[in-house]
Amino acid sequence: MIEVREAITKKELTEFVKFPFQLYKDSKNWVPPIITDEVESFNKKTNPVFETADAHFYIAYKNNKAVGRMAAIINWTEVEKQRIKKVRFGWWDVIDDVEVTKALLKKVEAFGEKNHLDYIEGPMGFSNMDKVGVMTEGFDHLGTMVTWYNFPYYKDHLEQLGYVIEKEYNESEFYLDDVNPKYFTKGSELVKKRYGVKGLNFTKTKDLMPYVDQMFALFNQAYANLSSFVSITDAQIAFYKKKYISFINPEYIKFVVDKDDNVIAFGIVMPGFAEALQKTKGKLFPFGFIHLLKAKKQSKSAVFYLVGIHPEYQNKGITAVLFNEFYKVFSEKGVNHFIRTPELSDNAAARNMWKHFNPQVFVMRRTYRKNL
């Protein structure tokens, strides 16, 4: 018999977060989160995402042993302002038993029906700042800290339960050795002269902080037209600013500003923390933080997390300025391997932006939906 219980207390949420550790204990490619950080992100009193969202966290048990987990999420900005009447599911991990997945999804479906929503979609988080998609290809590749890893049977569970493909995403990788810088070095100078823009580089986090609020505001503008996008609030911006920016090398955050010092483009690249996170086993102490600090300084891999261009400057070659600055810093540091976070497969603008980097798709993802 399968029993599904809601995780509410800190102890229960910790169990929710820890479940994948046992499920993937023999996997070489799963990348664990930091347990305390993940638990704190589900704290409804401190995470501002809960000002505009509701969530329930469920754990499934069989013979009193945890066999699956799933979060049920409603983003009220999406529902009320965009009129997209959707309940989301995310943070889904499960043994290979479709009945467990069915029991968890019933909880999410009931949450959606109670709030008179039209359909369920997932896996996805609260917003575009969260992880997205169930893996359908690329299981033999190491995951990243900004993506979910799963076993091949996950998509089979959803399809057996009548869920259909909603969106498709891909992740790609490229190597700096394969990049010919002529495609953006010359273009960078032309664009700067034509539009009076310039690139900003930093070596200290405190120096880039004055531009971060502008960056997140631009993020909301740059991604507004994507079908999957839900804007983030000022409170969430402050939360992400405090939580993440100091975790990234300041040299790995680039801005392009106009003649009035307004941010018109940005790029955020994160050091490759995957192997370091595996070594931490989900704990910062006593030695986990050492692995992360070492990766921050020495990793020869990196993840292109976000790139955003102001709508008025899109298709004007502004990315040449960004990429030229990134090329210089990564060449100097010997960082050669790069991964791009999941992008919608039908996002032609994104594909065109990266065409000179010879990116190779190595992971495919999907979200699935079902009408309520």
Whether 368 maps to a domain, the answer reads no
pLDDT over threshold 80, residue 226: no
Choose the final residue of a domain: 170, 186, 209: 170
Tokens linked to 172:
């790609």
Question: Are residue 201 and residue 82 in the same domain, yes or no?
Answer: no
Q: Mean pLDDT, to the nearest integer, of 131-141?
A: 98
Whether 21 maps to a domain, the answer reads yes
Choose the final residue of a domain: 170, 199, 223: 170
pLDDT over threshold 90, residue 224: no
Whether 370 maps to a domain, the answer reads no
| pLDDT number for residue 231 | 86
pLDDT over threshold 80, residue 191: yes
| pLDDT number for residue 244 | 82
Tokens linked to 319:
């990315």
| pLDDT number for residue 355 | 86
Question: Are residue 281 and residue 308 in the same domain, yes or no?
Answer: yes
**Distances, alpha carbon 222 to alpha carbons 21, 80, 175, in Å:** 36, 21, 26
Q: Mean pLDDT, to the nearest integer, of 75-83?
A: 94
Whether 37 maps to a domain, the answer reads yes
Question: Are residue 13 and residue 131 in the same domain, yes or no?
Answer: yes
Whether 79 maps to a domain, the answer reads yes
Whether 113 maps to a domain, the answer reads yes
Q: Mean pLDDT, to the nearest integer, of 281-300?
A: 95
DSSP 327-346: HHHHHHHT--EEEEEEEETT
Instruction: Give the domain extent around 25.
Output: 2-170
Q: Mean pLDDT, to the nearest integer, of 213-231?
A: 86
pLDDT over threshold 80, residue 274: yes
At 56, give phi and psi (nearest 5°).
Answer: -130, 145
Work out how many domains the chain is built from and give that number: 2
Choose the final residue of a domain: 170, 203, 227: 170
Whether 371 maps to a domain, the answer reads no
Question: Are residue 178 and residue 158 in the same domain, yes or no?
Answer: no
**Cβ neighbours of residue 174 closer than 8 Å, sequence gap 6 or more:** 338, 340, 354, 357, 358, 359, 360
Q: Mean pLDDT, to the nearest integer, of 70-74?
A: 98
| pLDDT number for residue 230 | 87
Question: Are residue 197 and residue 342 in the same domain, yes or no?
Answer: yes
Question: Are residue 89 and residue 225 in the same domain, yes or no?
Answer: no
Whether 322 maps to a domain, the answer reads yes
Distance CA 320, CA 316 (A): 9
| pLDDT number for residue 327 | 96
Whole-model pTM? 0.95
Question: Are residue 85 and residue 182 in the same domain, yes or no?
Answer: no
Question: Are residue 70 and residue 142 in the same domain, yes or no?
Answer: yes
Question: Are residue 96 and residue 184 in the same domain, yes or no?
Answer: no
DSSP 18-49: HHHHHHTTT-SS--PPPHHHHHHHT-TTT-GG
Decide: residue 365, CB within 10 A, 0-12 exposed, 13-18 middle, 19+ buried. Answer: buried
Rounded (5°) CA angle 37-148-60? 80
Question: Are residue 312 and residue 220 in the same domain, yes or no?
Answer: yes
For the chain, the average pLDDT equals 95
Tokens linked to 324:
């030229």
Q: Are strands 164-175 and 134-137 parallel, antiparallel or unpaired?
A: unpaired
Which tens digit of pLDDT belongs to each residue from 304-344?
Answer: 999 999 999 998 999 999 999 999 999 999 999 999 999 99
Decide: residue 350, CB within 10 A, 0-12 exposed, 13-18 middle, 19+ buried. Answer: middle
Question: Are residue 196 and residue 344 in the same domain, yes or no?
Answer: yes
- Whose structure tokens read 């993440």? 244
**Residue 140 pLDDT grade (very low, low, confident, very high; cuts 50, 70, 90):** very high
Question: Are residue 166 and residue 188 in the same domain, yes or no?
Answer: no
> Domain with 127 in it: what CATH number?
3.40.630.30
| pLDDT number for residue 123 | 98
Rounded (5°) CA angle 1-30-296? 145
